[in-house]
Amino acid sequence: MSEAGDRAIPTRIAETLDRMGRSAVGGIAEVGLGAILLWQSVYWVVLGRHREQPVRMAATFERCMEVGIRALPIVTMLSVTMGVMFAIQGIYTLRVFGAEEQVTIGLGISIVREFGPLLTGIMVAGRTGSSLAARIGTMRISQEVDALEVMGINPVRFLVAPALIAMVVMVPLLTLWADLMMLTGAGWYVSVDMGMSFAAYTQRIIDVVEIDDLMHGLSKAFLFSILITLVGVINGANVKGGAEGVGRMTTRSVVLSISAIIVTDMIFAFITTRS
Amino acid sequence: MSHAAEKRDDRPRPDLSGAPNVIEVKKLVTHYGAREILHKIDFGVREGEIMVIMGGSGSGKSTLLNALLGLLRPTKGSIHILGEDLTQISDVEKTLLRRKIGVAFQGGALFGSLNVLENIMLPLREHTKLDVNTMRIMARLKMQVVSLAGFEHLNPSELSGGMIKRAAFARAVVMDPKILFCDEPSAGLDPIVAAAIDELILNLRDAMGMSVVVVTHELESAFRIADRICVLDKGDILMTGTVDEIRSSTNERIQNLLNRRTETETLDPEEYLKRLTAAND
């Protein structure tokens, strides 16, 4: 190998290590920023009124409408479809063992503990997390965030806290709705395919699903709502370079939110099934 | 000597030589990363004065404005605004200080989710306990001052460039600030609307008695409104003086700026070749 080539290899290794180091530091900084944003949001929610700077209720209500009510049609449609799909796959698999009668156990527990919160989280990340990142990113490049600061209005209280409250309230409620719609879709298919009455299916689901299962799912939905908000806000706040930057960070926000949801889901399931 | 602009406003400039400083900047140094942007800047703004900070692109005027607004932490030096050192005070004190200043941003920075009236009322909503009707009346008064009455319920996206600037001014002065900061107020506007915005700045100062700091690279606008001009170049203050003093300056760089001449760097071809070779190594 030539002398120039020998010199190039250590340089490339150094550059790769440099890039990895910068990425790692950037990632840690983002986690730190997320923790600060969460702490400040909680601070303003709890102490804002005491400091005569309450979190805006009108904005929080508007965010609730956006996160929850306006998401109902798509959540309903996809949840029913997924419910039917789970029923099809469940019956097909259990028929191999001649145990398709037991499909309601699998459906009830897996939907309430796993698929309801997961599907809702992914839909909210794609729909609301991305719009939150785009909104804050656009506000940043048009100096609206700077305007808030120089007006003496804390941007976290004004922008982040209403979004966080709306997500924490609405994502678990949407999850409950998604659970119900998935179970309804699955029940419809089970009645058609197996000739079981819908009332009998419902009774079996009620017998199988316990409050603990429901709380397991809702706890995950609560965690997902915080993750989606923080990832959206952090990516929006880091927008640079105009409209192209907004697009880039919006995409990054969706990818990171969904990744965070799936990893958190796995860790949560592991921890809560140990005891 | 040919000037890019002549003074058009006939109103007399007030004598503010004995007025106390509302802004006092001492030995200010700022960095972006490792690069030093402002090099030990010293300057002051008097009470009731319109101070124009002027300079070309990359001169450091936006950096100076950001430092004055507390959006950028300086590396060294002090910034006293209304007697408070911005570099030393707590966040709570900074919030209280910010209620006494108003800022009209270059692009307006109006909130798209609020209509014009709500945008202008926002500082009142956040910082006062007035009832909504009183706030509406106060906001409408300011809209009249900036000739925007009747446009209360439009969204910012429905306004022209000049109207956005006017709405930004109305929001900036709704709390009756002691200091108004304006970032490139006439940038991107046609000459007639730009002249109207300059007139508005003069009217606001005369009506409300506030100090005004204007950052601009528009010579015509600067000469029209300034009581004093601070000329920035490559992070240094070249000169601070009245319009006449700036115009009659013999400083070559100031004359280049006034006459829109570019400074060309003479470069030895061999030296240039050496630099290229060094860069490729």
Taking only the tens place, the pLDDT of each residue in A128-143 is: 999 999 999 999 999 9
Pairing type for strands B236-241 and B228-233 reads: antiparallel
Domain that holds residue A258: 56-273
Domain membership of residue A5 (yes or no) is no
Domain membership of residue A48 (yes or no) is no
Instruction: Choose among A139, A147, A152: nearest Cβ to B95.
Output: A152
CA distance B123 to B144: 18
Contacts of B106 in chain A (CB under 8 A): 143
Provide the 10 A C-beta neighbour count for residue A61: 13
Q: How many domains does chain A have?
A: 1
Q: Residues B32-45: what's their mean pLDDT?
A: 89
B2 confidence band (pLDDT: 50, 70, 90): very low
A153 touches chain B (CB under 8 A): yes
Contacts of B112 in chain A (CB under 8 A): 138, 144
pLDDT tens sequence across B144-184: 999 899 999 999 999 999 999 999 999 999 999 999 999 99
How close is the nearest chain B Cα to the Cα of A146, in Å?
7
Contacts of B126 in chain A (CB under 8 A): 53, 151-153
How close is the nearest chain B Cα to the Cα of A256, in Å?
27
How close is the nearest chain A Cα to the Cα of B107, in Å?
7
Contacts of B71 in chain A (CB under 8 A): 146, 149-150
Tokens of B268: 């030895």
Domain membership of residue A73 (yes or no) is yes
Is residue B24 classed as helix, strand or coil in its secondary structure? strand
A96 touches chain B (CB under 8 A): no
Q: Do A146 and B71 touch (CB under 8 A)?
A: yes
Domain membership of residue A227 (yes or no) is yes
Domain membership of residue A7 (yes or no) is no
Chain A interface test: which of B62, B91, B95, B129 (most A C-beta within 10 Å):
B95
Instruction: Choose among B101, B109, B126: nearest Cβ to A144.
Output: B109
Residue A43 above 90 pLDDT? yes
Contacts of B107 in chain A (CB under 8 A): 142-143
A150 touches chain B (CB under 8 A): yes
Closest chain B residue to A4, measured at CA? B281
Tell me which DSSP letter residue A56 carries: P
For position B274, what pLDDT does the model report? 67
Tell me which DSSP letter residue B148 carries: -
Domain membership of residue A45 (yes or no) is no
Instruction: Report helix angle A116-124 to A161-194, nearest 10.
Output: 130
pLDDT tens sequence across A58-89: 999 999 999 999 999 999 999 999 999 999 99
Q: Could you tell me if residue B19 is left (phi over 0), alpha (psi between -120 and 50 degrees) or otherwise beta?
A: beta
B8 confidence band (pLDDT: 50, 70, 90): very low
Q: Residues B70-99: what's their mean pLDDT?
A: 91
Closest chain A residue to B110, measured at CA? A144
Residue B6 above 70 pLDDT? no
Domain membership of residue A182 (yes or no) is yes
A149 touches chain B (CB under 8 A): yes
Chain A interface test: which of B68, B96, B126 (most A C-beta within 10 Å):
B126
Domain membership of residue A112 (yes or no) is yes
CA angle in degrees (0–180, nearest 5) for A72-A78-A81: 135
